[in-house]
Homo-oligomer: A and B are copies of this chain.
């Protein structure tokens, strides 16, 4: 049975397999070449769909980027929440959180690079960024609790949230650059150490 036939047969079931296919190709191209250096024609070509199909799912190029950003952020937040456990002590939860974060980074190098690269992108609207940010409410709560319990220094919540993100970004960069010989656990420990009261 030819592959094309098979695809036709499963067309209905793999609803928007096409869409995911496009997103995946876009992810690879965006991180390899950059957003502006990647023509939509290339995306559609490598995703084996026509430009028409691409337009059907994403009326414009920016939307591909934004959808990608959002889906990756959601995936990350979902993972973090899965690893979290309400019943554990805050400090443990904080640690788990960072650890899961690094694990995810380790398991999703491409997506990590994407987040790193497009965090500052002017092509992602404030709305989308906010929406992505809201996904991490749980983490916010953990940090809040940690401050309350004196695990983190008595500084504004905003300060800690930004620092968590910064340190994560820093760890990402280190891992990516391959310049460090520290193990993941050592990195987590070092990162956590910077955040904690002392």
In the complex, whether A18 has a CB less than 8 A from a CB of chain B is: no
In the complex, whether A82 has a CB less than 8 A from a CB of chain B is: no
Most chain B beta carbons < 10 A, residue from A163, A165, A182: A163
- Interface size in chain A (residues, C-beta < 8 A): 34
Q: What secondary structure prevails in chain A residues at the interface with B? A: helix
Option from B117, B155, B198 in Cβ contact (under 8 Å) with A182: B155
In the complex, whether A89 has a CB less than 8 A from a CB of chain B is: no
Complex contact B170–A156 (CB within 8 A): no
Q: What is the CA–CA distance of A125 and B180 in the complex, to the nearest angstrom?
A: 23
Say whether, besides A34-B122, A37-B122, A194-B195, A167 and B159 are in contact (CB < 8 Å): no
Q: CB within 8 Å of B: which of A153-171?
A: 153, 155-156, 158-159, 162-163, 165-167, 169-170
